[in-house]
């Protein structure tokens, strides 16, 4: 953190009040001496490190003990659900995806009203607070991380006069962050120079490496029709899968095309790999959660620190209309930033025998001071989700230049506030639906099957799953998760 001027700006921006509030919480913390909380998390450093940082100060303030239990991401839903269904008190706090809330909801305790009366409740951005922390009319979880996909790009490359002149001569327009996916691939092609160890982009492609969220981000631009809300994944009238329509086919063709402009071995990249690849100076741009930005800006982790630009995900002028079964063309680019994952959440299983301590720890973990510190820490996996995170621009000056910070925060909040922002799917059995999707998606990426064949297979599996879970129940859940009224 810069001294003097920056500190004064932070005080003026309200961080001083946050620090005082946090200090008051610590002073008034209840005595949990002898209480041990088992906290479930994805294997670190992402997310687990944020828990560890908060746990240290919580233990000091309360006398309690935090035992963080880590599992690979793919094992989390089964580990949690198995324990909760058996009424096993193995976990006092769990960290999980909003998409899993429908399956977990019968086994979670409701958030105490006192937490919703906390002075910092309104500080949580409304998309997370009002859309993702509730299920069936109850607040069952607390956001601990803000997640959406955004573009990150190399300022040094994009602002280089020689690169700009060469690009304009080849493509006929100015080099700038892409407005559309067509521009995205032209820029990726331009910067793909294997002889210089430079490639245009990189995405997560490997099964189990959070690949399907990257695919969903492509699809949102072509299927999240502004006139047909809730129709991206399923027909909101019948629950018929939409994943094999022309919009999704275009998305898969694009997603597969990204491999042409990615470094060797990219087919095995997970989301962590693309961050280190960007930070290593090997790619010109990528899209990811905000972690690429914070890691790329950290001189201890990055070779491109000081040159990390941010922008909203590319959009499209053509979007598939499932009602008319045709492409609709728009005069202006429609941006549909995808809330991939939707931010890690925390909740307390009903079987926990330490409910008060567990909810207090969650409140501590997510208070403005601790959550801001986590968001500022590259590799924590925590991205902004409170309004104060976006407003305290100077708080980011320790890792970003002024321009980097401005772009990063404007992109994060601008994506959340976008008129056509796309929410992730949230229905019972989410991990069943995504599991079959990843199997077929991996075949298509590897060239073993054609894209349409893979999508048709996914659609058939999704239909079978919907029947198995109950079509009426799944349709009701889907409409509720998308903010649509119940069918009469």
| pLDDT tens digits, 273-307 | 999 999 999 999 999 998 899 899 989 999 999 99
Q: How many domains would you assign to the chain?
A: 2
Residue 9 has what pLDDT? 26
| 131 plus 47 within the same structural domain | yes
Q: Which of 40-49, 186-195, 365-374, 390-399 has the lowest mean pLDDT?
A: 390-399
Would you say residue 131 has pLDDT above 60?
yes
CA distance 411 to 453: 36
| 317 plus 376 within the same structural domain | no
Cβ-count burial 146-174 (b if 16+ within 10 Å, e if not) = bbbbbbbbbbebbeeeebeeebeeeeeee
Domain final position from 417, 437, 467: 417
Question: Which residues is 193 bridged to in the sheet?
Answer: 198
Residue 208 has what pLDDT? 86
| 123 plus 77 within the same structural domain | yes
CA distance 68 to 438: 29
Average pLDDT over residues 381-399: 91
pLDDT band at 263 (very low <50, low <70, confident <90, very high): very high
Residue 18 has what pLDDT? 38
Would you say residue 69 has pLDDT above 60?
yes
* 48 belongs to a structural domain: yes
Average pLDDT over residues 368-383: 91
Q: How far is CA 371 from the centre of its chain?
A: 16
Tell me the per-residue pLDDT of 410-425, one tens digit each, with 9 for 90 and over.
Answer: 999 999 999 999 999 9
Residue 241 has what pLDDT? 98
Identify which has the larger pLDDT, 397 or 110. Answer: 110
Residue 26 has what pLDDT? 57
Residue 483 has what pLDDT? 86
Q: Please state, in angstroms and as integers, the Cα–Cα distance from residue 77 to each residue in 44, 72, 344, 362, following that order.
A: 16, 10, 13, 20
Residue 21 has what pLDDT? 43
CA distance 84 to 352: 10
Question: Which residues is 234 bridged to in the sheet?
Answer: 241
Would you say residue 25 has pLDDT above 90?
no
| 155 plus 137 within the same structural domain | no
Tell me the per-residue pLDDT of 161-204, one tens digit each, with 9 for 90 and over.
Answer: 999 999 999 999 999 999 999 999 999 999 999 999 999 999 99
Question: Which residues is 286 bridged to in the sheet?
Answer: 152
pLDDT band at 27 (very low <50, low <70, confident <90, very high): low
* 26 belongs to a structural domain: yes
**CA-wise closest residue to 212 among 182, 233, 231, 226:** 233
| 158 plus 303 within the same structural domain | yes
The rounded mean pLDDT for the chain is 92
Would you say residue 15 has pLDDT above 80?
no
* 457 belongs to a structural domain: no
* 380 belongs to a structural domain: yes
| 87 plus 177 within the same structural domain | no
Would you say residue 440 has pLDDT above 70?
yes
Range of the domain at 225: 150-340
Residue 92 has what pLDDT? 98
Would you say residue 1 has pLDDT above 80?
no
Residue 125 has what pLDDT? 95
* 13 belongs to a structural domain: yes
Would you say residue 23 has pLDDT above 80?
no
Q: Report the CATH number at residue 130.
A: 3.40.190.10
């Amino acid at each position: 953190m810069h001294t003097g001027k920056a500190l004064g700006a932070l005080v003026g921006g309200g961080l001083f009040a946050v620090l005082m509030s946090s200090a008051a919480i610590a002073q008034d913390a209840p005595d949990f001496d002898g209480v041990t909380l088992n906290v479930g998390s994805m294997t670190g450093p992402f997310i687990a490190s944020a828990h560890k940082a908060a746990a240290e100060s919580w233990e000091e303030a309360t006398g309690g003990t935090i035992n963080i239990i880590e599992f690979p991401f793919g094992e989390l839903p089964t580990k949690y659900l198995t324990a909760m269904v058996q009424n096993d008190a193995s976990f006092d706090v769990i960290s999980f995806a909003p998409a899993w809330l429908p399956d977990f909801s019968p086994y979670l305790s409701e958030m105490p009203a006192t937490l919703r009366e906390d002075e910092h409740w309104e500080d949580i951005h409304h998309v997370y607070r009002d859309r993702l922390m509730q299920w069936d009319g109850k607040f069952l979880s607390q956001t601990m991380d803000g997640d959406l996909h955004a573009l990150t790009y190399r300022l040094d490359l994009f602002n280089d006069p020689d690169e700009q002149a060469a690009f304009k001569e080849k493509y006929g327009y100015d080099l700038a962050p892409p407005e559309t996916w067509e521009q995205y691939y032209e820029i990726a092609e331009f910067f793909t120079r294997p002889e210089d160890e430079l490639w245009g982009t990189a995405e997560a492609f490997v099964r189990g490496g959070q690949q399907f969220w990257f695919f969903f981000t492509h699809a949102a631009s072509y299927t999240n029709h502004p006139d047909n809300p809730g129709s991206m994944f399923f027909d909101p009238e019948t629950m018929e899968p939409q994943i094999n329509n022309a919009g999704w086919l275009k998305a898969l063709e694009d997603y597969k095309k990204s491999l042409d402009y990615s470094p060797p071995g990219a087919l095995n990249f997970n989301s962590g790999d693309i961050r280190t690849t960007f930070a290593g100076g090997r790619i010109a741009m990528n899209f990811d959660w905000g972690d690429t930005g914070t890691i790329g800006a950290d001189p201890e982790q990055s070779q491109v620190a000081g040159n990390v630009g941010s922008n909203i995900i590319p959009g499209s002028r053509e979007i598939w209309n499932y009602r008319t079964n045709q492409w609709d063309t728009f005069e202006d680019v429609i941006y549909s930033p995808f809330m991939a994952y939707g931010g890690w959440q925390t909740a307390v299983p009903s079987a926990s025998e330490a409910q008060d301590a567990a909810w207090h720890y969650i409140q501590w973990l997510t208070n403005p001071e601790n959550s801001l510190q986590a968001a500022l820490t590259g590799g924590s996996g925590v991205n902004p989700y409170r309004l104060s995170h976006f407003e305290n621009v100077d708080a980011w000056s320790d890792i970003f230049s002024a321009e980097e910070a401005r772009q990063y925060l404007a992109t994060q909040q601008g994506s959340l506030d976008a008129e056509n922002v796309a929410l992730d799917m949230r229905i019972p059995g989410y991990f069943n639906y995504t599991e079959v999707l990843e199997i077929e998606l991996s075949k298509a990426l590897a060239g073993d099957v054609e894209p349409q064949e893979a999508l048709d297979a996914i659609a058939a599996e999704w239909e079978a799953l919907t029947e198995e879970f109950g079509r009426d129940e799944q349709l009701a859940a889907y409409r509720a998760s998308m903010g649509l009224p119940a069918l009469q």
